[in-house]
């Protein structure tokens, strides 16, 4: 088990850690601390222009029912 010492800014060096790594710090009491490396999911591939246009035609941002119908469904009589 490697031993390390915190500097004046309360930093320690963790072997195997790379710049940009994110850790969850869990205080377990009695002077024990558990570090868990968090792995971010890779971003999804961006859609092409044609895929975006096709999706917009399939699900337009317009209501499919009239305002009066919606009002009758959501209001108490």
Please give the structure tokens belonging to residue 75: 């209001």
Name the pTM for this structure.
Answer: 0.47
- Cβ distance 21 to 37 under 8 Å? yes
Contact residues for 21 (Cβ-Cβ < 8 A; gap 6+)? 37
pLDDT digits (tens, 9 = 90+) for 4-53: 888 999 988 888 889 989 999 999 999 899 999 999 888 889 999 999 99
Please give the structure tokens belonging to residue 59: 């699900």
pLDDT digits (tens, 9 = 90+) for 43-60: 889 999 999 999 988 887
- Cβ distance 24 to 36 under 8 Å? yes
Nearest alpha-carbon partner for 13 in 24, 1, 2, 29: 2
């Amino acid at each position: 088990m490697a031993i390390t010492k915190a500097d004046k800014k309360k930093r320690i060096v963790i072997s195997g850690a790379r710049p940009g790594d994110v850790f969850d710090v869990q205080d377990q009491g009695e002077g024990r601390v558990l570090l868990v490396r968090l792995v971010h999911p890779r971003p999804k591939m961006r859609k092409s222009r044609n895929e975006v246009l096709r999706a917009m035609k399939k699900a337009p941002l317009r209501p499919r029912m009239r305002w009066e119908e919606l009002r009758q469904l959501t209001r108490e009589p």
